[in-house]
Amino acid sequence: MNNFSIISSLLDNDFYKFTMQNAVLKLFPLVKAKYEFINRGKYSFPKNFANILKENLNKMSYLKLSNKERIFLEKYCPYLDSSYLDFLNQYQYNPKEVNIYQKGKNIKMNIEGLWSRTILWEVPLMAIISELYYKLTGIKRLSDKNIIILTKEKLKKYKKLKVKIGEFGTRRRYSYQVHKLILKILIEEGYPFFIGSSNVHLSHIFSIKPIGTKGHEWIMFHAAKYGFNIADRIAMENWLNIYKGNLGIALSDTYTSSIFFKNFNKKLSNTFKGIRHDSGDPISFIKKTIKHYKKFKINPIKKKIVFSDNLNPDKVAFISSFCKNKINPFFGIGTNFTNDVGPPSMNIVIKMIKTIPKKNWISVVKLSNVEKKSTGKKNMIFFAKKILHL
């Protein structure tokens, strides 16, 4: 591998991609999926960007799970069974699944194939696009010394607040090198408040347990297969069937939190250890969550909320003070750790847009608690809102 390989390990990805891949293989092995790159920030990409991006993807086809990496997964992620790890041993990225073309300064990209295979592309692709963009546009960052100072300052604030924090910043990191540097500081100086990283490869390097559960695409597929009204519930039940209560954080905003809470029945509320908040006003969400648990006579102080929506030390201070003695907050901090190094971080996403749950392609949508975070075709979003009476 020459120095220009941005992704150097099959595990340089978010943990929830592997946990979802395992569940997809067990329950929906023949389902196909299609993803699309969305340039939310309307960036102009330099000449030849698409070709250099393709070169990086082609190098990814040589990545294989090493014996050491498999042993790491067996030790730290016991709920990933040997049949899945055997699959991962055989897995190789297939760049033919990714279609990229550049028109002027605009990049178009989609990914298509078996869901169980294509599910791993999103996070490393975004990390490559981000790193290449800074490299090819020559946008300078802070020095390592200043990054270390800044990260330690943030860490000091989090330690003072006594809050549990994790690092979720793979997809929009400035670069692999910056990501590794920041994680090293968090591990060396974050004890006992730093609880881990979502990046499996870096977790392996530093011998820590990777963190994460599932993403929106898991529920979006269930909506395509079973309908919008019950997607949350069936997605959670299927998750329980695979993981038996492990990885028990429910995702609350694929079809807005109000629909989620209708699906989050007494059994699920008891079984899942907590809920992830990823969009909308955190305070009203905390209130709703507490009210929901109390309705089922569940003590909220025994439950968690994992906050992961664009966090920084001020937001964390505000949210954690409101949670005090009410419910347990955890914070997944992404870009504010891995790409707060001078230039603005990129506002880009790659989202599932279609799937084949039965015979034909169906467009999928996500209706976030915040309008601008919704994804999917306009007519499908309209249709979903109508069905859900939103």
Same domain, 24 and 98: yes
pLDDT at 2: 40
Query: Does 2 map to a domain?
Result: no
Query: Does 8 map to a domain?
Result: no
Same domain, 135 and 149: no
Query: Does 367 map to a domain?
Result: yes
> Which of 303, 319, 338 corresponds to the end of one domain?
338
Query: Does 311 map to a domain?
Result: yes
Same domain, 32 and 135: yes
Same domain, 60 and 171: no
Same domain, 164 and 233: yes
pTM exceeds 0.95 for this model: yes
Report the alpha-carbon distance of residue 14 to residue 173 in Å, rounded.
Answer: 12
CA angle 37, 48, 350 (to 5 degrees): 10
DSSP symbol at 362: E
Task: Name the residue range of residue 218's domain.
Answer: 144-338
Query: Does 171 map to a domain?
Result: yes
Same domain, 154 and 234: yes
**Residue written as tokens 């038996």?**
244
Same domain, 66 and 202: no
Of 45, 53, 47, 22, nearest in space to 126 by CA: 53
Number of folded domains in the chain? 2
**φ/ψ of residue 353, rounded to 5:** -115, -25
pLDDT at 1: 34
The encoded tokens of residue 303 equal: 């439950």
Beta strands in 217-334 (DSSP E): 249-251, 274-277, 304-307, 328-333
pLDDT at 4: 66
Asked if residue 233 lies in contact with residue 262, where contact means CB atoms within 8 angstroms, the answer is no
Same domain, 297 and 355: no
Helices (H) and strands (E) in the chain, counts: 17, 11
User: Rounded to whole angstroms, what are the CA distances from 256 to 169, 262, 376?
Assistant: 24, 11, 15
> Which of 323, 338, 353 corresponds to the end of one domain?
338
Same domain, 89 and 226: no
- Along the 390 residues of the chain, how does pLDDT read in single tens digits? 345 689 999 999 999 999 999 999 999 999 999 999 999 999 999 999 999 999 999 999 999 999 999 999 999 999 999 999 999 999 999 999 999 999 999 999 999 999 999 999 999 999 999 999 999 999 999 999 999 999 999 999 999 999 999 999 999 999 999 999 999 999 999 999 999 999 999 999 999 999 999 999 999 999 999 999 999 999 999 999 999 999 999 999 999 999 999 999 999 999 999 999 999 999 999 999 999 999 999 999 999 999 999 999 999 999 999 999 999 999 999 999 999 999 999 999 999 999 999 899 999 999 999 988 889 999 999 999 999 999
pLDDT at 342: 96
Query: Does 175 map to a domain?
Result: yes
Of 37, 41, 43, 172, nearest in space to 101 by CA: 37
We report the CATH number of the domain holding residue 217 as 3.20.140.10
Same domain, 22 and 65: yes
Same domain, 287 and 316: yes
> Which of 338, 356, 375 corresponds to the end of one domain?
338
Same domain, 134 and 67: yes
Query: Does 309 map to a domain?
Result: yes
Query: Does 24 map to a domain?
Result: yes
Cis bond leading into 46, ω under 30°? Answer: no
